[in-house]
Amino acid sequence: MCHLHERINPYLTASWRRTSTSFGSQVHINPCKPEMKNDKEKCKLIDNHKERVCKLLDRNNHFIIYSDGSMIKKRGFPQVGATVVSYHNGEEVFLETMGMGGRTEVYDTEMAGLMMGVKLALRYTRDHPKITQIVFYVDNSAVAGAIFDPKPCPGQLYAAKFHHRMTKFLNANKTHAIEVAWCPSHCNIKGNDRADELAKEATQLAWNAPIGTSRAFALR
């Protein structure tokens, strides 16, 4: 097996590792994609998200991150890319993109985007110690539910790195907290639309991901 193929390790983390529930109110995982029966309910959901983000952007102790992934076909072959973009005090403060080649799935790209997000967020918070709350938004409910749990499953490497780095952040101070939540997509939400645009551009990048062939791709 090529060393670049994704490996799933049943013993990657200790059996006593801390899960999201171990942190109490410091961790909120909200992967639920609400059932929208009509356009009115969809509009209300979008408005609620925008209203909440506006409030968070007015608080200098909150840091907001949107991540996304994209796949296009070029000459019949898929190319995928991942991206992350962040906001603090109403301003875009960093972004990063990753070319992931053609042997991964969109699920993998969104997991990778969150992994990039936590790495850059911790770097930023070191220079801005007033930040105590980090909020991650992703438009894939399965990814939102899986990213803080490095159990044996597709995307385990990305989840393990996210879990490790976020645990250090949470342990550093009892006032630190994180939230990982689903958000609507393609609904004129600034952060999500920006991440979507950058993810499409990332599909044109040369491969620079830690995994060549993902388990999700192999299973499909």
Q: Between 17 and 59, where is the model more confident?
A: 59
* Sequence-ordered list of residues with C-beta below 8 angstroms from that of 104, at least 6 positions apart, any chain: 80, 209, 211, 213, 214, 216, 217
What is the structure's pLDDT at 41?
82
Model confidence over 168-191: pLDDT tens digits?
Answer: 999 999 999 999 999 988 888 999
Residue 175: the pLDDT is 96
Beta carbons of 162 and 148 less than 8 angstroms apart? yes
Percentage of the chain lying above the pLDDT 90 cut: 65
Domains of the chain: 22-219 (3.30.420.10)
13 near 22, Cβ under 8 Å? no
pLDDT band at 210 (very low <50, low <70, confident <90, very high): confident
pLDDT score of 180: 97
pLDDT for the residue 12: 78
pLDDT tens for 106-115 read 999 999 999 9
CB 93 within 8 A of CB 212: no
Residue 3: predicted pLDDT: 64
Percent of the chain with pLDDT over 70: 97
The span from the CA of 148 to the CA of 159, in Å, is: 6
Helix or strand run (H / E) with residue 190: helix 190-202
When pLDDT is cut at 50, 70 and 90, the band that residue 142 belongs to is very high
Per-residue pLDDT reduced to its tens digit, 41-62: 888 888 999 999 999 999 999 9
pLDDT in tens, 64-118: 999 999 999 877 788 999 999 999 999 999 999 999 998 999 999 999 999 999 9
CA distance 23 to 8: 26
Task: Give the range with max mean pLDDT: 2-16, 30-44, 127-141.
Answer: 127-141
